[in-house]
Structure 1
Amino acid sequence: MRPWKRRHRRPLTAAALLTLAVAPAAVPAQAGAAPDAGWVGTWTASPMAHSSDAVSTNGFTGQTVREVLHTSVGGRRLRLRLTNTFGAVPLKVGRVTVAPPDGPGGIRSDRVRTLTFGGAGSVTIPVGARTVSDPVALPVPADGDVTVSLYLPSATGPVTWHRQSMETTYVSGTGDHTGDADAAAFPTRLGSFFFVDGLDVAPATAPQGAVVTLGDSITDGDQSTVDANNRYPNYLARRENALPPGRRQAVLNAGIGANRVLNDSRLGGPKALDRFDRDVLGQTGVRDVILLEGVNDINFPWFGSEPDAQPTTPVTAGQIIAGYERLIDRAHRHGLRILIGTMTPVRGSFYYTAAGEEERQVVNRWIRGQRLADGVIDFDRVMRDPADPQRLLPAYDSGDHLHPGDSGYQAMAAAVRLDCLGPGAGSARGTDCTTARAS
């Protein structure tokens, strides 16, 4: 989906399985297993290869990149995952700090912690690898922010990034500014995450695991308010945090704008079938998956005219359904529950076609009737306009007739039955996991 067409723009151009490499590091929990010795993922951003713009292609040299990560659950300690999954050269990280934020781009200087990797203050991550820091004691709030500052002393080359962050990232001039209390040394503002793909915490009470939301730009939060954390997974995490401690789960956002189930693209990253192992199974403490993808597989004719264009690959409803079946099977083989969401309306958007709408309806009918996934969330039923069911309800429409706005994302999160998630969830396949108030 078209991530740059949003109300609050950030300049995108300004700026296998897991390989845990380099220093000795804590390894994320095996999928479907009990959470890793009291650890659980609280934030993630799915990594992507560089695009055509200057920042992601050229990377950084001798600069500090400061990024704000918004948590799901809180904890007493944290550990950070860094990635060079799509890098062209080994990634040298000279220093990494974490701290609570203090104003735009600022940090609490009295609570800065320097991360180590196998006891060392710097780390070099080989091409294609990622690494996890040593744990550090720092209270992390639920539904709050943690600021991460990375000093990159040598040329990074093309970056591993998450193109659409919906958060402001701050880039310095030359020098190590990881301990700077304010943003005076950070003149550049970007709208992407760089080299970070996971944050784990050790909660005060035993974590119940995590639910990973796998999807495209609707999961990624396109058109939500920048720096407000109003993506649907954020709203879902707030609902989870309101549950008793023994029931609540973390919520991890594995959405990528323009992502597809069946085909890679330069703009949308690796297809869901290829990234499932890294972006879902690789999360610490994952128990559940919510899958919401497919609309980009159907509606991609526009892609050939964009800067990062690749040839359009026509697919059928049957091929998308076959892709879903493979993802469902993979989740079950690793002991995970998986819920599947119906695709939301797109009429009035830039890539609506009558033929595409028919494909969407065919896939949605299959989703509602299948008995393979552990549950169905009927996002289409929740988000459509009763007076014109092929369109988003105006109150939920961001204005592009494709992506919800903040209120629409809140409605999506409210549609998820929480009793369908977590270790106590039922086992009947095909369960309607849409809340009654959202019907």
Structure 2
Amino acid sequence: MFKRRFNLFVISAIIFTLAFSFSTLTVTADNKIGSWIGAWATSQMAAWTTVDWDGGFSENGFDDETIRMIVNPTASGEEVKVRLSNEFGEKPLTFGKATIGKTDEDAKVISDSIETLTFAGEESVTVPAGEAIVSDPVPFDVVDGEDLTISVYIPEESGPATWHNTANQKSYFSVGDATANVDGSGFTNDSNSWFFLSGVDVLTKSNKKARTIVALGDSITAGYLSTLNANQRYTDFLNERLDKEINNQTFSVLNQGISGNKILRDDAIFGEKALDRLERDVFSQTNVTDIILFEGINDIGHVPHQLDAEEIIKGMKQIAKEADKRGIRIYVGTLTPMNSFTGDPTYYTEEGEETRQAVNEWIRSQDIFDAVFDFDRVVRDPENPDKILPKYDSGDQLHPNDAGLKAMADSIDLSIFKQPLSRTAYK
């Protein structure tokens, strides 16, 4: 179901800035031909200062410590750039050193794979509060699906940290500058979160048309309660399918899900609302061509409940409008069941279920989005359609398990991605 057809021009060259603007086919100074695309990304949040669910890492920040983080790229390339964020910091933040390497296991890095990242030619960089920075390009063989290890050294007190919680991937901490450490010794603490790290871009090896799909959503998109360190989010499964089944393009799928996130309301714990994080988390990603919007269930479930379906629909329409203004295709997922959610006894109400059904009815009948992904029909129990199918339940009756997330990805009709896009950069 498409409402637009693009008739757009190809750009042959692009000026790189720290703004992460769109990119197309590029010829580098050493005659490499490829495209700069987003290979990995995660949404940033302010530190938690009112709860201690994360062990206090985000609130307390870091001082003379190295944070070692594992990421799983969804595109291959021969050069790499890394984005570090102080967007929710309270003061300027100095990164004393940052490195990238190939992951061995846990905090270990494959010997001789570590490369030092630089920023305008310098190893150390200070980022003002409210800003992010992109490293210089460095030759590095990035392989789609093979983990990367990124280590950042914080030499001075950082204050509350910009971060992404519930990453479903362990990060590790060591005292002092351990960015060049290979055997993982000294990394004695860990957390299921990423800190200060918001993106990885690669220069593809192929001259195929590149396509970056950004998944905007909440905890189900983030893969909450999927298997730890296993990359079993629905976006991971979707990327695998695209790579296997469509050979005429280069695909990357970026996951911008935040647990508990909402379309209409900011939250100190669950991040800025989707409408306010569009520019940073979606439109500024490198070479974004497609968006999957799968969000709204927390607007209904969290107190105060949003029980007016029209308000949620209005927010979805606004997101679609912003994508359309930039010539980006956007798809929408139906809201999945929430009855009997064990994590919050106030989450489900009969009025909220009526709201969910009304939103889903509109999603299935509208012609604003380019396609509908009916995730509700995929994971619901046919005999109890307000509940998740037991074989897809992670255990809390809200979040799908690995099998459910794979079923969601498998349900997406890949024919909508088969035709390469030709488009100009929008800003």
Q: Note if contact 1:109-1:179 (Cα within 8 Å) is conserved in structure 2.
A: no
Report the 3-state secondary structure (helix = DSSP H, G, I; strand = E; otherwise coil) of the residue aligned with 2:180.
coil
- The code of the aligned residue for 2:62 comes to F
Check whether the contact 1:25–1:117 (CA below 8 A) recurs between aligned residues.
Answer: no
Percent identity (aligned): 42
How many Å apart are 1:348 and its aligned residue? Answer: 1.7
Structure 1: how far apart are the matches of 2:362 and 2:400? 24
Per the alignment, residue 368 of structure 1 pairs with 364
The match for 1:279 is 281
Counterpart of 1:380 in structure 2: which amino acid?
Answer: D
Shift of 1:159: 0.5
Q: How many Å separate the matches in 1 of 2:340 and 2:305?
A: 23
Could you tell me how far apart the structure 2 residues matched to 1:370 and 1:35 are?
35
CA contact 1:25–1:134 (8 Å) conserved in 2: no
Deviation at 1:26, TM superposition (A): 5.0
Q: What is the distance in 1 between the residues matched to 2:400 and 2:338?
A: 10
Letter in 1 for 2:24: A
- SS of the aligned residue for 1:408 comes to helix
Task: Point out the more displaced range, 163-172 or 236-245.
Answer: 236-245
Choose from 26, 31, 34 the match for 2:24.
34
- Alpha-carbon distance, 1:282 to partner: 0.8
Read off the aligned partner of 1:254 and give its amino acid letter. Q
Whole-angstrom CA distance in 1 between matches of 2:24 and 2:274: 25
SS at match of 1:111: coil
For residue 381 of structure 2, what is the amino acid of its counterpart?
D
1:340 aligns with 2:337: no
**Deviating 4+ runs (over 6 angstroms):** none
Q: Pairwise mapping of residues 276-315 of structure 1 onto structure 2 (< 5 A)?
A: 276-301=278-303, 312=304, 314-315=306-307
Per the alignment, in what secondary structure is the counterpart of residue 268 of structure 2?
Answer: coil
Give the TM-score normalised by structure 2: 0.88
CA, structure 1 residues 36+321, in 2 after alignment: closer, same or farther (shift >3 Å)? farther
CA distance in 2: counterparts of 1:35 and 1:171, whole angstroms: 38
Q: Which amino acid aligns with 1:80?
A: V
2:402 matched to 1:406? yes
Question: Which residue is equivalent to 2:254?
Answer: 252
Counterparts in 2 of 1:91-130, with a 5 A limit? 91-130=93-132
Which consecutive unaligned segments of at least 5 residues does structure 2 have? 1-15, 28-34, 423-427
- Paired residues, what number? 390
- Superposed, 1:210-289 pairs within 5 Å as 210-289=212-291
1:244 to partner: Cα distance:
4.3
- Contact kept, 8 Å, 2:305 with 2:352, in 1: the verdict is no
Task: After TM superposition, give the deviation of residue 313 of structure 1 in Å.
Answer: 5.8
Shift of 1:197: 0.4
What whole-Å deviation, never above 9, does each CA across 1:381-439 have from its counterpart, x for those lacking one? 1111111111111111111110000000000111111222365479xxxxxxxxxxxxx
Match of 2:163 among 149, 161, 164: 161
RMSD (CA atoms):
1.6
> Contact 2:307 / 2:352 at 8 angstroms: preserved in 1?
no
Match of 2:322 in 1: 330
Change (3 A) 1:176 1:424: same
Q: Could you tell me whether the CA contact under 8 Å between 2:256 and 2:281 is conserved in 1? A: yes
CA contact (8 A) 1:73 1:241 kept: no
How far residue 346 of structure 1 moved from its aligned partner, in angstroms, is 1.2
How far did 1:245 drift?
4.0
**How big is the shift at 1:315?**
4.6
SS in 2 for 1:249: strand
Distance 2:307 2:86 in 1: 31
Amino acid across the alignment from 2:21: A
Determine which of 67, 72, 84 is the counterpart of 1:82: 84
CA distance in 2, matches of 1:25, 1:165: 28
SS in 2 for 1:109: coil
Separation in 1 of the partners of 2:234 and 2:396?
A: 17
1:51 counterpart = 2:43: no
Provide the rounded CA distance (Å) in 2 between the counterparts of 1:337 and 1:267. Answer: 30
Alpha carbons 2:89, 2:162 under 8 Å: kept: yes
Give the 3-state SS of the residue equivalent to 2:210 in structure 1: coil
Alignment match, 2:8: none
CA distance in 2, matches of 1:133, 1:168: 23
Partner of 1:431: none
Q: Alpha-carbon deviation of 1:247?
A: 2.5
Q: Could you tell me whether the CA contact under 8 Å between 2:307 and 2:351 is conserved in 1?
A: no
Report the residue type matching 1:39 in the other structure.
W
The equivalent position to 1:354 in structure 2, one of 350, 354, 359, is: 350
**Counterpart-to-counterpart distance in 2, 1:58 and 1:98:** 25
Match of 2:68, SS state, is strand
Change (3 A) 1:421 1:29: farther
Give unpaired runs (5+ residues) of structure 1: 1-23, 302-311, 427-439
Shift, 1:25, TM fit: 5.2
State the distance in 1 between where 2:322 and 2:122 align. 37
CA contact (8 A) 1:94 1:152 kept: yes
In the other structure, the counterpart of 2:181 is 180
- The residue identity in structure 1 corresponding to 2:231 is N
Give, as a single letter, the amino acid of the residue that structure 2 aligns with 1:299.
G
